[in-house]
Amino acid sequence: MKILHTSDWHIGRNLYGRRRYEEFESFLNWLSGLIHTEQINVLVVAGDIFDNTTPSNRAQELYYQFLKRAAASQCRHIVIIGGNHDSPSFLNAPKQILKFLNIHIIGAALPEIEKQILVLKDDTGKAELIVVAVPYLRDRDIRSVETGESVQDKDDKIIKGISAHYTKVCKIAEQINNNLDKKVPVIATGHLFAAGGKVAKGDGVRELYIGSLAGIGADIFPEFIDYVALGHLHSAQKVAGIDHIRYSGSPVPMGFGEALQKKKVLVVDFFNSDASIKEVIVPVFQRLSQVKGSLDQINEKIKELKQDNLPVWVEIIYNGEEIPADLRNFVDEMIAESKIEVLRIKNERKIDGILKAQDDKNSDNLKSLDEMDETEVFKQCMDINNIPETQQKELSDAFSMIIKDMVEEI
């Protein structure tokens, strides 16, 4: 039996204002082909299907077109869990209809925790796989709020809450497996930040919980779990070096910082109870290139890209010693009559000059808006209004909680 593990599609995501629907469509078409060529039996998508909680009509169209193709293939089951970017209500809305196509949706944690355990059957009606389908666990799913609790108290409750959730649901799954005529492989899902996980600059990985939570340990997954399919981090990686606990990563680069990464999906082949894991490289559907250096270095790199004569989106970061009179015109002249599109130009030399004119308190915080998330903007507002450092931590936590509540209520 073969399982295909993917996650973090982020359908609908823009890159500096540039729409990427053709790129997402190409990936989903490729994935449909892979399901056929690899003879995949179960597809697992570990969260963040969409980039936001209100996906556009085009994003929805791509999603449902893919599900239609996948359900019509030899793939017997599709399991989709909600991520922190997804709207549980949106994902869950068609779940009863999709269930008739053996598409199983778990958009959010369920009150009846046993309903998160899926016993998937083969064409003869016999159990072939148990999936402990745990989605992104929201604050309200795993902890109660108490007046006067510290940030550390919140962190401890979150860790204990997530661990308790997995302990409970995995125990039920183990009992179900023991009661079968013949034990079958058991996999678990999750959308979380595992301790030691690696991220790339500008990849858009959003903080999951309020406070300083660094990550969840691999020990929350019991030893009897044969494979753990994780989502949230965009770089494909093992957790704590454990081969069967994996992030598949995002299938397309989320930003220029990921331009050189090899994107992957994972094929897990169960023979009896042993799992072999194969990494499949995802083709590049839209070339990205980050060009950094002096004017001469940028010019040389642009020449190389022009010689390739292939469409490419470029981010240029200038950090030379001289201050060019008009960097934009310089770049426009270099890329003239080529297939290069420059989506962003960052003049670090100019920023350094501005920073020198600022006092030390504010200089480290000067960024352009396209480099900051809402939390960083709020921090700059506090600095500008001279909010004392002693108050900033509490205000930042309160602001982050408001933002999370706004997102999670959708």
Nearest-5° Cα angle at 294, 355 to 298: 125
Q: Are strands 242-247 and 227-231 parallel, antiparallel or unpaired?
A: parallel
Q: Convert the pLDDT of each residue in 239-264 to its tens digit.
A: 989 999 999 999 999 999 899 999 99
Which residues on adjacent β-strands are paired with residue 277?
Answer: 268
Nearest to 86, CA basis, from 166, 189, 4, 7:
7
The whole-angstrom distance between residue 254's C-alpha and the CA centroid of its chain comes to 9
Q: Mean pLDDT of all residues in the chain?
A: 86
Whether the pLDDT of residue 151 is over 70: the answer is: no
Residue 123 contacts residue 150 (beta carbons within 8 Å): no
Question: Which residues have CB under 8 Å from 341's CB, separation 6+?
Answer: 18, 311, 312, 313, 314, 335
d(C-alpha 137, C-alpha 165), whole Å: 9
Whether the pLDDT of residue 365 is over 60: the answer is: no
Residue 212 banded pLDDT, cuts 50, 70, 90: very low
**Which tokens is 298 given?**
């940028």
- Which of 1-15, 90-104, 278-292, 314-328 is predicted with the least confidence, judged by mean pLDDT? 314-328
Residue 379 banded pLDDT, cuts 50, 70, 90: confident
3-state secondary structure string across 110-171: CCCHHHHEEEEECCCCCEEEEEECCCCCCHHHHCCCCCCCCHHHHHHHHHHHHHHHHHHHHH
Rounded to an integer, the average pLDDT of 394-398 is: 73
Whether the pLDDT of residue 296 is over 80: the answer is: yes
- Which of 147-151, 187-191, 286-290 is predicted with the least confidence, judged by mean pLDDT? 147-151
Q: Give me the pLDDT at residue 400, please.
A: 67
- Which run of H or E residues covers position 174? helix 151-178
Q: Give me the pLDDT at residue 195, please.
A: 80
Q: Are strands 242-247 and 237-239 parallel, antiparallel or unpaired?
A: antiparallel
Rounded to an integer, the average pLDDT of 356-364 is: 46
Rounded to an integer, the average pLDDT of 59-69 is: 97
Q: Convert the pLDDT of each residue in 76-117 to its tens digit.
A: 999 999 999 999 999 999 999 999 999 999 999 999 999 999
Q: Are strands 237-239 and 227-231 parallel, antiparallel or unpaired?
A: unpaired
Enumerate domains of the chain plus CATH numbers. 2-281 (3.60.21.10), 287-357 (3.30.160.720), 361-410 (no CATH)
Q: Give me the pLDDT at residue 201, please.
A: 61
The whole-angstrom distance between residue 46's C-alpha and the CA centroid of its chain comes to 9
d(C-alpha 222, C-alpha 209), whole Å: 24
Residue 300 banded pLDDT, cuts 50, 70, 90: very high
Whether the pLDDT of residue 397 is over 90: the answer is: no
